[in-house]
Every structure is written in structure tokens, then in C-alpha cells.
Chains A and B, each alone.
Chain A
């Protein structure tokens, strides 16, 4: 039986996860871009860090975020018994 309380509690946790992911998403792309000039003074495996974040760092993070979200949500479904039958 899916009660209103279960759905609300499930949704609250989902929302928290969404905000966390959006925060990281925003930091590695927009914040990193704003500070790219300063970051370029640091070198990582031969790349200037500012450029590296735009070309690789951000998009690697995006991929990881998506897998992480998928995994966490599957656990959340189990926790509340809301997975597919």
C-alpha cells in the first residue's frame, strides 16, 4: 500500500539528492568557467586547469553524476518499497 506519507518522505529525499547533484553540476561548469582565467595558472597532466575543466573535467563529472543518481534512486526505491513489481 502506497500511502501519502511514504510518497512525501520519498520525494523529500529525492529532492535533496536532486539539489545536491544540481549544485555539483553548477559548480563544475558555470563556477569553473567564471574562474577559468585563474584556474589556467594551475597545470594538470599538461593541461591548464581552466581549459581542462571545460573540455574534460566538467563532462566527466556529468557522467559520474548520472550513474550516481541512477544508483541512489534505485536504493531509495527499495528503501520505501516503491520499486517496480
Chain B
């Protein structure tokens, strides 16, 4: 597109999204007025759910297309700022929106690995990858691998890695959609998943990358507005200044002072001893498996037999029996988790702002940060977004904008955590159990907060409160005393975060199969319209498989996501970066590097999670720390002992290194 046309187009987009933001604010304000006039919480929840999904669907319908370049890369006419927003919401998942502040609350300094890891990757992306991918100017990452290294094998490995990495991530997003909708609107988990998926599909199905892009921009606006309001309010409440990012230093000081006082508090020590006892009991039960599992089950069944029908106790026992581990293996898993929690609670609180004090802790912190950074710069659904800008220049600036929009949320997350923690330490610890604030009772009822008088003194001790990660963001509106509308807004924001990521992942996987596998390898003779049709059909199939797997609510989901980063770090990132920066890199080197990276990482993931493998004390979520260097070393060695890439390939590398002559955006391909 010519410059003038591009400017006019950007201006039009700014107008559209400006109006959209205004309408959204009006929508929230009118619900707020409705609430004060007596509109029930249930209808507010419905309004947010159907209102936002309706908007996404409408964007999907308006952006419907069957043109190949539009379907795969949004016509390459997404201006830098908008591609930045779309990348930001593509990138930020339910875990960033709801879980991250909670992880910071629970882990203190250690949690900062997520903050640095998930932003620092964008520097790698901007400097080493994004502009060159745009200059290359095809549709997918496997496209790049084949073009750069030659032959179908690099493409095949690329397809396989893209599917593994994206699918693990997709299941986590679908689960997030189900939890958010079911919690806020009170519909069953499965119905929530179905509803959310239909929102996703209307979008990607009709308009591919084009619809996904413009929806993601809309979703970014909702999620960032939703994230800011509660934390600004609580900052104002606790410090008198509505700028949380500057003010939570005060909250950190409160936390440090109060926690220090708790270390030698007699009542706290009492509670910690109770936890120690509990941990020891569980440890004995785990040692006694499988007999202890049989015994516990038998006891519950006997109790049930000896209780009269109609006795209120009976329902309790029935529930306990229903929740009881189904097998001895399940018991081992559950009891070990409970034992670890009890052990953690039996220790005095450690400083919230201090880094890990032992070498193993520091090494794991650095390793995790590294895996998250490199993994971020290697996730195919993020890399793909940089094909959609009109020019190389815009791709560079779009990487900067993407990081800026992500930064707005990540800069704020630690404030959520600090304010919540200082609130708990100030207004809950030391209160009587009879005087629990309403928000605690509410979230305790759904199991996000558990609070029990362990030493029987009627007063709440810090060690008696267990808060799940999700509770921090969800409960902040109530801690700050905001109306229910804000809680609904948070739900809409979390849903936007989960849906936008799921959209990006689905389209990446569908492209990997329809474009990379079917069109490029199996049947290159199909017409462009058939290609798009196959892509659309695959979206439905993949979404259905994802929803099916999500319906099992596997306990391993959080780890799956972390592993996806390690796998991306150990496969895609080295292959793409070496392809651009090392002219001598050849097919043999890149392919063997990717295979070794994938195998080493998979070996350590499975070994450390299930079979007690441990190298240098590294935890399973930082598995990529071994696969990544293995990939690079193998790739460099093998490429040096095999013939150099052909002259054409070397010229190809030269050609992607500078912007001149890039495919122009916004023209029919």
C-alpha cells in the first residue's frame, strides 16, 4: 500500500477502536448504574459474557474472508501499533491475567522470573527474529525452515514441534475459558467451554488471521481496562494515591515489617507445629501405600454404613468418599501435594523481597527466566504475527509496541500481589474468626481461600490462611470495596485474555496442518480456496479435540504450559535465529540440532517429573535449559563438519538481512 493509503487506513482504525473503547466504557457505566438501581449480579454476569462474546463474533462476521493472504496473514496490512496490541493479547493468556499476580503473592521475589521472562523474550524477538521473518514474507514458521534449509525434513520437524507446543498451550486456555464462565455466570464447566469455543470459532472460522487480528485488538482493550481499575482503586484505598505502580513500595515495607514480627510469634509457632504434625502424618500415609489407601477407603465406607439415612453427617461422608482418591497412584499424587503444602506452611514466612538464599534457588530462578525468555521468542503463534505488518520497518516497531502493551500489564501485576498481601497481613491476621471480611468468606466458599482455626484460639494466624493463586486478582475488587460490576469486568478481561490466546493457537495449528503439511507436502495442486476451506474445517476439529482434552481437567495443565516454553526454546528459537545470523548453518546442522534439542528437553521433562531424574538441581519447569544449548552446540558442530549451504541459500540469507525489496503489504498475493 502506498504511504497515503496506509496513513488513511491507520487513521480509520484509530477512529474505529476509539469509538469501540467509548462504547465499552458506556456499557460498563450503564451496568454500574443498573447495579445501583437493583440489577442482579446474575444479569450483570450475563451482560458481560454475552456482550463481549457478541462483539468478538460481530468482528468475526465483518472480517470474513476466503482470500489466502487475508486468511493467513491478514493481508499484511496491520499497522505497527495495532499489530502490537494484537500480539500482546495473543501472547497474554489466562495465566498472565489471573494467575501471575497470584504467583507473585505466593512466591515473592521468586515469582519475578515470570515478569522478566515473559517480557525479556520480546527483546530477543525484536532484535534477532521479527524483522527478518517479515522480510522473508511467507505465511508460517515451517515455511521459513524449508526455504532456509531446503527439503521437506526441516518443515516436517517444524510442523511437529508447532503442534506439540501449541496444543499443550491450547488445552490450558480452553480450561481457563471454562473456569471463568462457569464461576461468573454459574453455568456448568462444559457449557462454559462450549460457549467460549463458539466465540473463538465464529471469529477464526470466518476470517482466519484477519478476523483474529482485529478481535485480538478489541480483546486487548477490554483486558487492559479490566486489569487496571481494581488495582488503581486499592492503591487509592491503601495509600491515598491512585498510581499503584509507584505506590506499592509502601505495601512492600508493610509486608516486610509485619512478616518479620510473625517469625517469633508464639501463636504462629503453635500453628506451624500443627502443620508439621500434619505433614508427618501424610508422610507416614504415603510410606504405607497402598495399604494406607485401602484402609482409609474402608474406614469411610464403614462410617457410611453406620450412619442413618437422613442424618446430616451422611452427606458429608458421601462427599468425602467421592473426593477420596480412586486409586493408590492417585492417592500418592494427592497426598504428596498436600504434604508439600503442609511442609511449606510449617516454615516461618521468608522475606517477600529477598531473592533465593541458596545457590540451587538462584540457579533455578535464572534458568526459569532464561527458558521463559527464549521460549517466548520461539513460540510459533507469536512469531507468526510478524508476517502481518505492511513493512519490515513496521515489524520492528511493532515488536516494540507489543512489548509496551504487555509491559503495561506486567508492570502492574506485582502491585496487585503486594497490595493483597499487605491487606491480608493488616486486616485479616489477628482478627477473630467470627469477624472474617465478606470477601474472604465468599472466596473460601469456592475453595480459592482456605482458612481454618488450627490451634483453636479463635484468632486468625497468618499460617492458618492458604490463598490460591487465582484468588488475588479475583478478590481485589471486593477488597477495595468496588461494586460487583468491576468483578464482572475482571471476568470479561480474563475471558478476553484466554479467548485471544486460544484463537492465535488454533489458527497456528490449523495452518501447520492445512498449509504446511497438506498443501506444501501432500498435495500442492489444490486451489487456494480449497486450502482455506481445509484450514477452516481443521479449526473445528482441533477445537473439538482441545475441548475434549480440557474436559478431563488434568492436574498437569500448569506444567504443560511451562513445558511448552522449554520445548519452543529448544527447537524453534535456535533453528530460526541460526538461520538468520549464521550463514554457514546448513540443513544437517539445523535438523540434528532441533532433534537433539527436542529429545533432550523431552527426556528431562519426563524424567524429572516422573522418574526422579535431576541434573544440577534444575526443576522440571526449566527443562529447556539443557535442550537449548544442546541444540546450539550440535547444530554448530554438525554444520561445520558437513558441506556449506549452496550459493543460492547463502544469497537467500543475505536477502532477508535488509529491508529493501520486501513484499509489500496490502496487495493481493
Cβ of A2: which chain B residues have Cβ within 8 Å of it? 658, 660
Is there an interface contact between B362 and A82, defined as CB atoms closer than 8 Å?
no
Q: Check: B414 CB closer than 8 A to any chain A CB.
A: yes
Is there an interface contact between A7 and B109, defined as CB atoms closer than 8 Å?
no
Cβ of A14: which chain B residues have Cβ within 8 Å of it? 657
Is there an interface contact between A66 and B250, defined as CB atoms closer than 8 Å?
no
Cβ of A59: which chain B residues have Cβ within 8 Å of it? 115-116, 119-120, 407, 410-411
Cβ of B355: which chain A residues have Cβ within 8 Å of it? 33, 36-37, 40, 50
Is there an interface contact between B362 and A7, defined as CB atoms closer than 8 Å?
no
Cβ of B112: which chain A residues have Cβ within 8 Å of it? 33, 51, 54-55
Is there an interface contact between A37 and B657, defined as CB atoms closer than 8 Å?
no
Is there an interface contact between B249 and A63, defined as CB atoms closer than 8 Å?
no
Is there an interface contact between B391 and A84, defined as CB atoms closer than 8 Å?
yes
Given contacts A55-B112, A69-B126, contact A63 B131 (CB under 8 A): no
A29 to B370, CA, bound (A): 10
Is there an interface contact between B414 and A55, defined as CB atoms closer than 8 Å?
yes
Is there an interface contact between B400 and A70, defined as CB atoms closer than 8 Å?
yes
Q: Check: B185 CB closer than 8 A to any chain A CB.
A: no
Given contacts A55-B414, A59-B411, A84-B659, contact A29 B126 (CB under 8 A): no
Q: Check: B253 CB closer than 8 A to any chain A CB.
A: yes
Other-chain contact of A82, B109, B124, B365, B660 (Cβ < 8 Å) = B660
A15 to chain B, nearest CB (A): 8
A40 to B403, CA, bound (A): 27
Given contacts A25-B120, A58-B120, contact A70 B397 (CB under 8 A): yes
Cβ of B660: which chain A residues have Cβ within 8 Å of it? 2, 77, 81-85
Is there an interface contact between B393 and A34, defined as CB atoms closer than 8 Å?
no
- A1-34 to B contact mask, C-beta < 8 Å, 1/0: 0101001001100100010011001000110011
Q: Which of B30-71 contact A (CB under 8 A)?
A: none
Q: Check: B354 CB closer than 8 A to any chain A CB.
A: yes
Is there an interface contact between B366 and A30, defined as CB atoms closer than 8 Å?
yes
Is there an interface contact between B123 and A25, defined as CB atoms closer than 8 Å?
yes
Is there an interface contact between B123 and A66, defined as CB atoms closer than 8 Å?
yes
Is there an interface contact between A56 and B109, defined as CB atoms closer than 8 Å?
no
Is there an interface contact between B400 and A66, defined as CB atoms closer than 8 Å?
yes
Cβ of B407: which chain A residues have Cβ within 8 Å of it? 59-60, 62-63
Given contacts A51-B112, A62-B120, A63-B404, contact A34 B362 (CB under 8 A): yes
Is there an interface contact between A69 and B365, defined as CB atoms closer than 8 Å?
no
Write the chain B residue with the least CB distance to A77: B659
Cβ of A33: which chain B residues have Cβ within 8 Å of it? 112, 116, 355, 362, 365-366, 369
A2 to B124, CA, bound (A): 27
B526 to chain A, nearest CB (A): 32
Q: Check: B210 CB closer than 8 A to any chain A CB.
A: no
Cβ of A7: which chain B residues have Cβ within 8 Å of it? 654, 657-658
User: Of residues B115, B123, B245, which shows the largest number of chain A Cβ atoms within 10 Å of its Cβ?
Assistant: B123
Cβ of A21: which chain B residues have Cβ within 8 Å of it? 123, 127
Q: Check: B122 CB closer than 8 A to any chain A CB.
A: yes
Q: Check: B661 CB closer than 8 A to any chain A CB.
A: yes
Write the chain B residue with the least CB distance to A65: B123
B27 to chain A, nearest CB (A): 31
B122 to chain A, nearest CB (A): 7
Interface of B is mostly: helix
Interface of A is mostly: helix
Is there an interface contact between A63 and B403, defined as CB atoms closer than 8 Å?
yes
A36 to B355, CA, bound (A): 6
Cβ of A36: which chain B residues have Cβ within 8 Å of it? 109, 354-355
Write the chain B residue with the least CB distance to A24: B123
Q: Check: B554 CB closer than 8 A to any chain A CB.
A: no
- B227-253 to A contact mask, C-beta < 8 Å, 1/0: 000000000000000000111011011
Cβ of A54: which chain B residues have Cβ within 8 Å of it? 109, 112, 115-116
Write the chain A residue with the least CB distance to B365: A33
A30 to B369, CA, bound (A): 9
User: Of residues B253, B365, B396, which shows the largest number of chain A Cβ atoms within 10 Å of its Cβ?
Assistant: B396
Is there an interface contact between A77 and B393, defined as CB atoms closer than 8 Å?
yes
Cβ of B123: which chain A residues have Cβ within 8 Å of it? 21-22, 25, 62, 65-66
Q: Check: B399 CB closer than 8 A to any chain A CB.
A: yes
Q: Which of B323-370 contact A (CB under 8 A)?
A: 353-355, 357, 362, 365-366, 369-370
User: Of residues B122, B131, B391, B660, which shows the largest number of chain A Cβ atoms within 10 Å of its Cβ?
Assistant: B660
A83 to B407, CA, bound (A): 29
Is there an interface contact between A55 and B249, defined as CB atoms closer than 8 Å?
no
Cβ of A85: which chain B residues have Cβ within 8 Å of it? 660-661
Cβ of A65: which chain B residues have Cβ within 8 Å of it? 123
Given contacts A25-B123, A29-B116, contact A74 B365 (CB under 8 A): no
Is there an interface contact between A74 and B410, defined as CB atoms closer than 8 Å?
no
Cβ of A80: which chain B residues have Cβ within 8 Å of it? 658
Other-chain contact of B662, A4, A55, A60, A84 (Cβ < 8 Å) = A84
A77 to B123, CA, bound (A): 20
Q: Check: B159 CB closer than 8 A to any chain A CB.
A: no
B227 to chain A, nearest CB (A): 16
Is there an interface contact between B127 and A22, defined as CB atoms closer than 8 Å?
yes
A81 to B128, CA, bound (A): 21
Q: Check: B392 CB closer than 8 A to any chain A CB.
A: yes
A77 to chain B, nearest CB (A): 6
A22 to B393, CA, bound (A): 20
Write the chain B residue with the least CB distance to A38: B355
A1 to B515, CA, bound (A): 35
Is there an interface contact between B659 and A66, defined as CB atoms closer than 8 Å?
no
Write the chain B residue with the least CB distance to A80: B658
Is there an interface contact between B126 and A70, defined as CB atoms closer than 8 Å?
yes
Is there an interface contact between A69 and B127, defined as CB atoms closer than 8 Å?
yes
Given contacts A29-B369, A63-B404, A66-B400, contact A55 B115 (CB under 8 A): yes
| A residues at B contact (CB < 8 Å) | 2, 4, 7, 10-11, 14, 18, 21-22, 25, 29-30, 33-34, 36-37, 40, 45-48, 50-52, 54-56, 58-60, 62-63, 65-67, 69-70, 73-74, 77, 80-85
| 9 chain-A/chain-B pairs, Cβ below 8 angstroms | A10-B658, A33-B362, A36-B109, A45-B246, A55-B115, A59-B407, A74-B393, A80-B658, A82-B658
Given contacts A37-B355, A37-B357, A66-B126, 13 further A-B contacts (CB under 8 A): A30-B369, A33-B112, A33-B365, A33-B366, A36-B109, A40-B354, A45-B246, A46-B253, A55-B414, A62-B119, A62-B122, A70-B399, A77-B658
Q: Which 7 A-B pairs have the closest CB atoms?
A: A46-B249, A54-B112, A66-B400, A51-B353, A82-B658, A36-B355, A47-B249
